[in-house]
Amino acid sequence: MTGLPFPSVRGESRAPEGTVGLPDQLGRVARDLRVSVTDRCNLRCRYCMPAEGLPWLAKPEMLTDDELVRVIGVFVGLGITQIRLTGGEPLLRRSLVDVVRRVAALEPRPRIAMTTNGIGLDRLAQPLADAGLDRVNVSLDTIDPQEFADLTRRDRLHDVELGLKAAAAAGLAPVKVNAVAMRGINDHSVGDLLQWCLDRGYELRFIEQMPLDAQHGWDASTMISAEEIRERLGERFELTPLPAADRGSAPAERFLVDGGPFTVGIIASVSAPFCAACDRTRLTADGQVRNCLFSQRETDLLGPLRAGATDEELAALIQGEMWRKAPGHGIGTADFVQPDRPMSAIGG
Ligand code: SAM
Ligand code: SF4
């Protein structure tokens, strides 16, 4: 393959003969597949993309719908029970409703979720729900129009609000909202965002900013930590931690807000990583399997698939990629190297 904008190292590895499902050498088993259906986006969030100039994948380098559904079917055969469609902005893939319908027809039927910036969801929420989408996370970092425009570099807050409303109306419940706080941009309005979500019944989760931006501008010293979010929210709301036993492999620490019933989640992906309980794997829009957001290597399925590989051969490649999964992401250690692919091309 030539001309790819994200030149990650490609390489194969093998799981032991007779391996069933998607275990790694530490005993973790992947059950949750994140699928990036496009690397394109209509926003330019500062923690994700540069203001301009990020090259998109060329269409011939991307999995077609038939290829995508076939590969997802191979993952389902390997024990994946949850598919999350993401990107880039997944709603920009024109065939998305059809892809959801076809994934929902797989046996055993996986649960299907999507992470979206919400733009266009006002039109697509109902068709997606009808096609089999079960749940949605909408990314929204602030409800202040000026802060929104500053953070995303686009004036589209109203579209996101309409998208959220449509998701709730289509029954994609519980509607979750994902937020990243950036110092000096939206860190002082986290309480306003929580109140806004509580008023509408949306479940808010904050996530620490990770070093996955295309421009490699992440800086540990400016990151707003989970602890800091908790302190800021604590100035305005009473937060009661829910028992850790309720958490499983879910990364968010959850708190009852003002005695409940609503909750807020805080994901300390950098300061208190949950790698030891990780059950995720990832497929990029150009057919690469990644065992971690932070992998330096990935396994190519697109080439073998187009060269006539059988489902069993694709399954063995996927198992090999999972087998070599590292114990943790290593952010903050001396050896940490940010991956070539940005979040928008891996799939968040
Ligand atoms: N465009 C869709 C969206 O924004 O929801 C889906 C793709 S986006 C890459 C998926 C999630 O990753 C979003 O919730 C976004 O806020 C989050 N994200 C992007 N870059 C991030 C970063 N550097 N650190 C933490 N989260 C990030
Ligand atoms: Fe686009 Fe999502 Fe990245 Fe924002 S976080 S630029 S919406 S892909």
User: In this structure, is residue 312 part of a structural domain?
Assistant: yes
Give the 3-state secondary structure of residue 282.
strand
Q: Are 179 and 193 in contact (CB under 8 A)?
A: yes
345 vs 214: CA distance, rounded Å = 9
CATH number at residue 250: 3.20.20.70
Res 332: pLDDT: 72
Ligand nearest the Cα of residue 181 is 1
Residue 67 predicted with pLDDT over 60: yes
320-341 mean pLDDT: 83
The residue segments making up the domain with residue 269 are 32-346
Is there a domain that residue 217 lies in?
yes
Q: Supply 162's token pair.
A: 């309409």
98 band by pLDDT with thresholds 50, 70 and 90? very high
CA separation for the pair 112, 331 (Å, rounded)? 30
Number of structural domains, the chain?
1
**pTM of the model as a whole:** 0.94
Answer whether residue 5 is part of any domain.
no
Position 329 scores a pLDDT of 82
Is 36 known to sit in a ligand binding site?
Answer: no
Q: What's residue 294's pLDDT? A: 86
Q: Which residues line ligand 2 (CB under 6 A)?
A: 41, 43-45, 48-49, 87-89, 117, 139, 344
Four-point Cα dihedral 105, 40, 252, 283, nearest 10: 50
278-301 b/e (C-beta count within 10 Å ≥ 16 → b):
bbbbbbbbbbbbbbbbbbebbbbb
Please tell me the number of the ligand nearest to residue 343's CA.
1
* Domain presence at residue 23: no
Beta-bridge partners for 280? 32
Q: Which one, of 156, 177, 147, 158, lies nearest residue 266 by Cα?
A: 177
Which range among 91-95, 214-218, 268-272 has the greatest average pLDDT? 91-95
Which ligand has the nearest atom to the CA of 329?
Answer: 1
Protein residue with its CA nearest to atom 4 in ligand 2: 45
SS3 label, residue 23: strand
10 Å CB burial of residue 107 (0-12, 13-18, 19+) is exposed
From the alpha carbon of 218, which atom of ligand 1 is closest? 23
Q: How far is the CA of 312 from the centre of ligand 1 (A)?
A: 33
Q: How far, in Å, CA of 251 to CA of 265, rounded?
A: 9
304 in a structural domain: yes
203 within some domain: yes
The residues lining ligand 1, judged by C-beta closer than 6 Å to any ligand atom, are 41, 47-48, 86-87, 89, 115-117, 139, 178, 180, 207, 209-210, 212-213, 343-344, 348
Q: Treating both helix axes as pointing N-terminal to C-terminal, what angle do 157-169 and 121-131 enclose, rounded to 10 degrees?
A: 30
Report how far residue 211's alpha carbon sits from residue 231's, in angstroms, rounded to the nearest whole number: 23
* Pick from 289, 343, 290, 286: nearest CA to 41: 343
Site to probe by mutation for ligand 2, drawn from 117, 178, 343 as the one with most ligand atoms within 8 Å of Cβ, is 117
CA–CA gap between residue 263 and residue 255 (Å, rounded): 5
Q: Annotated binding residue at 48?
A: yes
Instruction: Note the pLDDT of residue 211.
Output: 85
In this predicted model, which residue has the larger pLDDT, 12 or 219? 219
Read off the pLDDT of residues 115-154 as tens digits, 9 standing for 90 and up. Answer: 999 999 999 999 999 999 999 999 999 999 999 999 999 9
Tell me the pLDDT of the chain averaged across its residues. 92
Residue 191 lies inside a defined structural domain of this protein: yes
Residue nearest to atom 4 of ligand 1 (CA): 117
Q: How far apart are the first and last CA of the chain?
A: 24
Closest-lying ligand 1 atom to the alpha carbon of residue 213? 23
- Quick check: is 25 in a domain? no
